[in-house]
Amino acid sequence: MNDEVKEDDMAEQTQTPTTGREWHLVARPDGWPVPEDFALVEAPVQAPGPGQILVRNEYLSVDPYMRGRMNDVKSYTPPFRLGAVMDGGAVGRVIASRADGVAVGDAVLHGLGWREYATVDATAAVVVDPALPLQSYLGVLGMTGLTAYAGLLDVGSFKEGDAVFVSGAAGAVGSMVGQIARLRGASRVVGSAGSPEKVRRLTEELGFDAAFDYHQGPIAEQLAKAAPEGIDLYFDNVGGEHLEAAIGALRLRGRAVLCGAIAQYNNTAPAAGPRNLALAIGKRLRLEGMIVGDHYGLQPQFVAEVGGWLAEGKLVSEDTVVEGFDQAVEAFLGLLRGANTGKMLVHVNS
């Protein structure tokens, strides 16, 4: 469609909506977020300009990192603005296009979630294969899967025979880390989770060698029982007591991938650091933080290998899907409480 197309012709062709709902952050949380920190707003939908597409979102991603963006602090990604729509991963269908190479009806992945309709620069969207479930591009084949893959293999320098411990192992990233480690030849894979049912799933469905419920006793003691000979690599999604326990369990030249610290995201006071950090000196440990955006160069390798495992039925992907756009905040709050198994998603058009 060229730039000369009349707006009324385009509206007739694509039935472009004039308004849509979106979620705004209206107050910065003090500790745990509450529903009153958010507002569901009816807002105008912007028709696409040259080089843009209009997307009807079908699935939205809610992720732990979003909690940090609700604070007005300097970080690796800008904070959400008060009184403005938030953003995050989303996948949907193109309903109007003024961009070469992207057609009405295409399925696309982009970063303007938390709204029903998104006007997106085509260069910021990726056309995906609709033969696969669209929600998989927000989970196992999206940022979640790439985080697990790059964190374990690139940042963590995983090698065959490593003993691996994963915290938050029933979550979106953690469940992928454990399975990838197993498929890549780990000698032992141990996970922690927040309920007996999640622990059962890790060992009976996802192939973990051992797992424990971190509510059922000191983490260091439970980890010592699950990995009596120690660990070589720790993938941290939780922080706090988990990180301290892992430092104690890591063997000589062990590695810790610091991916998340959900245990302290809602703290109102600074969290204490691991009390045993001095062990990192004598053990020659490497503790390294990671941001998935640093590893997009691995995308082709990641899609080929993980996509192959999916096709062969060697890797299990599970999502927790909350129905209804108006339930997006409840889905996010549920994520912070650990209510999800696997990836937490919102189905917009329920």
Q: Whose CA is closest to 132, among 310, 298, 302?
A: 310
Helix (H, G, I), strand (E, B) or coil at 321: strand
Helix or strand holding residue 41 (H, E):
strand 38-44
CA angle (330, 266, 196) in 5-degree steps: 65
Q: Which of 69-83, 262-276, 330-344 has the lowest mean pLDDT?
A: 262-276
Q: What is the pLDDT of residue 77?
A: 82
User: In angstroms, rounded to a whole number, what is the distance separating the alpha carbons of residues 274 and 57?
Assistant: 42
Record the tokens describing residue 240, joined without a space.
């706090």
Residue found under tokens 């597409």:
53
Higher pLDDT, 7 or 346: 346
Per the structure block, which two tokens stand in for 81? 């603005």
- Across 77-105, b (16+ Cβ under 10 Å) vs e yields eeebeeeebbbbbbbbbbbbbbbeebeee
- What ranges in the chain are assigned the alpha helix state H? 7-14, 65-69, 143-150, 172-183, 196-204, 219-226, 241-249, 279-283, 299-312, 328-337
Amino acid of residue 85: V
CA distance 236 to 258: 5
Instruction: Give pLDDT tens digits for 210-237.
Output: 999 999 999 999 999 999 999 999 999 9
Question: Predicted confidence band at 75 (pLDDT cuts at 50, 70, 90)?
Answer: confident
- DSSP-based three-state secondary structure for 206: coil
How confident is the model at residue 260, as a pLDDT? 87
| pLDDT (tens digit per residue) in 241-295 | 999 999 999 999 999 999 988 767 666 567 777 999 999 999 999 999 999 989 9
Inter-residue contact 33 to 8 (CB < 8 Å): no
pLDDT-derived band at 19 (thresholds 50, 70, 90) equals: very high
The predicted pLDDT at position 10 comes to: 41
